[in-house]
Structure 1
Amino acid sequence: MFKKKKRIPAERKLVTITDPKSVVSEQFRTLRANIKFAMKDKKMDTLLFTSASSGEGKSTIAANVAISFAQEGKKVLLVDGDLRKPTIHYTFNTLISPGLTNRLMSQWKFEYIVKNSGVVGLHLITCGPIPSNPAELLGSTSMDVFIEEMKARYDIVIFDAPPVLSVADAQILSNKCDGTILVISSGATDKGNVVKAKEALKASNANIIGTILNNFKLEKGHYYYEYYGERV
């Protein structure tokens, strides 16, 4: 008999809230600073997080980076761009609907789909009802209009996208965002898949501003999130 996999409580994932003085939280502040350095010479209102494959931690990192920017005083929007296996509603313990798909398919007004995160300065837009045509919705004119409207409302808009090698969604969305960050899980991500993910993003004209090495173990009880320039 197999044991049911235990879900990690959301509060343990949001270390920037639960333990702001920890080593990991400090690394998120370092990551925030490096993103700002990368944004220095270019206007970068929209930022996308993706990975080569599933389970590499890109959703957790996207959420903590969003919180970190909000803690700095920025007005931040975190959008669940994974319309196949969304997770933001779990992470922030809120409802999946209404959300992004309500806007893209039925033109719901912004005030009906935006949610409070519980963090000052950070708003959420969850997935909404899971659609049958995610790639088409993300590539639509409605998505373009949505992005432009959100850029006018927020200092930075952060998208959590699906893994690059699983579906075309991340490529489509990365083409619409100002910057893309690729998350790599230490000791787990296949190097060949990282190269393939980079090539796929480049093919869609994504602006890859860097990569993140996730789950690098420093010592017992601590995990290290580190930002790198583009080295893959």
Structure 2
Amino acid sequence: MFQSKRRAAAARQKRNLIVYSNPDSIIAEQFRTLRTNVQFLNGGKKSTLLLTSPSSSEGKSTAAANLAVSMAQQKESVLLVDANLRDPHIHFIFKIPNDKGLADVLTGQAELKDAAYQTEIGNLAILTSGQLDSNPAELLGSEAMEKLFQKALENYDVILIDSPPVLEVTDTKLLANKSDGVILVIGEGKTAIEKATEAKKALEFAKAKIYGVILNEMK
């Protein structure tokens, strides 16, 4: 029974991290194309990139994880941050601990260098959500968040942020305003045109620079 659960968990990880488990697939190539487009938009500079979606269950976290892996495979130093403090997923995708992470760093209970989890995938490090005991919006909009970005960019080429759905909480607007660029993930067959348009307007109102849209095929 225990072995079957481990096999099931490994299978789910392979499905989620297709760029890592099947680098020759069409999907992996699409993420490499996305990675290249982001590099052109950034002009080769260090940057902070946020991924969000209009609503939940649109594949945003999986897209963020695969883009992070693709960038790390290109020898970029990447920090993937799970800023969805209300409903985190990144530690599930990578099957890593979440005993300390972003919330702990922002509240001064941990240092970034101690909280970041170094993976075996290229130069990819992950900062999970950590243990939350206060208001997420206050933390994410705080001066501590800005300082974390500044500190992280001293050691990483790219900070990739998995944020909450933009239409559900205010957290994402705060983060989008602090990021160099935003990618909107839309679930094919799930997101109504009205919601996609509303999400775009919300990001523009936050003065976010929208790099583009990922149309995620929902299965």
- What TM-score results when the alignment is normalised by the length of structure 1? 0.87
The structure 1 residue matched to 2:71, chosen from 69, 72, 79, is 69
The structure 2 residue matched to 1:125, chosen from 112, 123, 127, is 127
Distance 1:116 1:168 in 2: 30
Q: What is the Cα deviation at residue 57 of structure 1?
A: 0.6
Name the structure 1 match of 2:62: 60
Paired AA for residue 10 in structure 1: Q
Q: What is the Cα deviation at residue 147 of structure 1?
A: 0.6
Match status 1:26 vs 2:20: no
Moved over 4 A (4+): none
Paired AA for residue 30 in structure 2: Q
Deviations 1:144-193 (A, max 9, x none): 10010001110111000000011001100000110000011112111101
Paired AA for residue 207 in structure 1: K
Paired AA for residue 149 in structure 1: K
**Native 8 Å contact 2:187 2:216 kept in 1:** yes
- The correspondence of residues 122-201 of structure 1 with structure 2, limited to 5 A, is 122-201=124-203
**Partner of 1:124: helix, strand, or coil?**
strand
Q: What is the Cα deviation at residue 106 of structure 1?
A: 2.1
Q: What is the Cα deviation at residue 118 of structure 1?
A: 2.4
Distance 1:93 1:196 in 2: 34
Structure 1's unaligned 5+ residue stretches are 1-5, 217-222, 224-232
Which stretch has the larger CA shift, 131-140 or 30-39?
30-39
Paired AA for residue 65 in structure 1: L
Name the structure 2 match of 1:219: none
Name the structure 2 match of 1:230: none
**Native 8 Å contact 1:44 1:178 kept in 2:** no
- What TM-score results when the alignment is normalised by the length of structure 2? 0.92
Structure 2's unaligned 5+ residue stretches are 1-7
Query: More helix per residue: 1 or 2?
Result: 2
**Partner of 1:206: helix, strand, or coil?**
coil
